[in-house]
Amino acid sequence: MMTRRDLFRNGGFGIGGMALGSLMNPQAFAGALKPHFAPKAKHVIFLCMNGAPSQLDLFDYKPKLKQMSGSKVPEELIKGERFAFLSGVPSLLGTPFQFKQYGHTGTYVSEHLPYISKIVDDAAFVYSMTTDQFNHVPAELQMFTGSARPGRPSMGAWINYGLGSESEDLPGFVVMASGRAPRCGSGCIGSGFLPTRFQGVQFRSGGDPVLSLSNPDGMGDSIRRATLDTLRDLNQEKLEQCGDPEIGTRIASYELAYKMQTSVPDLVDLSKESAATHKLYGTEPGKKSFGNNALYARRLVERGVRFVMLTHGEWDHHGGPRINLKEHFPKICREVDQASAALVLDLKQRGLLDETLVIWGGEFGRTPMLQGSINDPLVGRDHHRSFTIWMAGGGVKAGARIGATDELGYRVVEDQVTNYDLQATILHLLGMDHKRMTYRFQGRDFRLTDVHGEAVKKLIG
Over residues 44-66, the mean pLDDT reads 98
187 & 287 share domain: yes
d(CA 112, CA 107): 14
Does 458 or 11 have the greater pLDDT score? 458
62 & 106 share domain: yes
Instruction: Choose among 174, 142, 154, 449: nearest CA to 307.
Output: 174
* CATH code, 41: 3.40.720
Asked whether residue 333 is domain-assigned, the answer is yes
% of the chain at pLDDT higher than 90: 70
Please check the confidence at residue 101 and state whether its pLDDT lies above 70. yes
Instruction: Choose among 317, 300, 331: nearest CA to 364.
Output: 317
Report the pLDDT value the prediction gives residue 62, as an integer from 0 to 100: 98
Please check the confidence at residue 15 and state whether its pLDDT lies above 60. no
Asked whether residue 250 is domain-assigned, the answer is yes
% of the chain at pLDDT higher than 70: 84
d(CA 324, CA 304): 39
Of 198, 229, 263, which one is at a domain's C-terminal end?
263
Report the pLDDT value the prediction gives residue 369, as an integer from 0 to 100: 97
Report the pLDDT value the prediction gives residue 181, as an integer from 0 to 100: 83
**pLDDT (tens digit per residue) in 207-228:** 666 766 666 776 666 766 776 6
345 & 441 share domain: yes
80 & 227 share domain: no
Pick the range with the lowest mean pLDDT from 256-270, 319-333, 341-355, 422-436: 256-270
Domain count, the chain: 2
409 & 330 share domain: yes
Asked whether residue 3 is domain-assigned, the answer is no
Asked whether residue 9 is domain-assigned, the answer is no
199 & 182 share domain: yes
134 & 73 share domain: yes
259 & 322 share domain: no
Asked whether residue 137 is domain-assigned, the answer is yes
Q: Which domain holds residue 231?
A: 212-263
Please check the confidence at residue 93 and state whether its pLDDT lies above 90. yes
Q: What angle do CA 61, 63, 66 make, to 5 degrees?
A: 100
250 & 359 share domain: no
130 & 259 share domain: no
Of 220, 237, 263, which one is at a domain's C-terminal end?
263
57 & 144 share domain: yes
**pLDDT (tens digit per residue) in 130-179:** 999 999 999 999 999 999 999 999 999 999 999 988 988 899 999 999 98
356 & 410 share domain: yes
Q: What is the pTM for the complete model shown?
A: 0.89
Of 263, 280, 302, which one is at a domain's C-terminal end?
263
Pick the range with the lowest mean pLDDT from 17-26, 160-169, 402-411: 17-26
d(CA 260, CA 253): 10
**Cβ–Cβ < 8 Å for 357, 396:** yes
Asked whether residue 16 is domain-assigned, the answer is no
Asked whether residue 17 is domain-assigned, the answer is no
Asked whether residue 15 is domain-assigned, the answer is no
Over residues 386-397, the mean pLDDT reads 98
SS (H, E, C) the chain: CCCHHHHHHHCCCCHHHHHHHHHCCHHHHECCCCCCCCCCCCEEEEEECCCCCCHHHCCCCCHHHHHCCCCECCHHHHCCCCCCCCCCCCEECCCCCCEEEECCCCEEEECCCCCHHHHHHHEEEEEEEECCCCCHHHHHHHHHHCCCCCCCCCHHHHHHHHHECCCCCCCCEEEEEEECCCCCHHHHCCCCCCCHHHCCEECCCCCCCCCCCCCCCCCCHHHHHHHHHHHHHHHHHHHHHHCCHHHHHHHHHHHHHHHHHHHHHHHCCHHHCCHHHHHHHCCCCCCCCHHHHHHHHHHHHHCCCCEEEEEEECCCCCCCCCCCCCCHHHHHHHHHHHHHHHHHHHHHHCCCHHHEEEEEECCCEEEEEEECCCCCCCCEEEEECEEEEEEECCCECCCCEECEECCCCCCEEECCEEHHHHHHHHHHHCCCCCCCCEEEECCEEEECCCCCCCCCHHHEC
Dihedral over Cα of 143, 314, 55, 383: its sign: positive
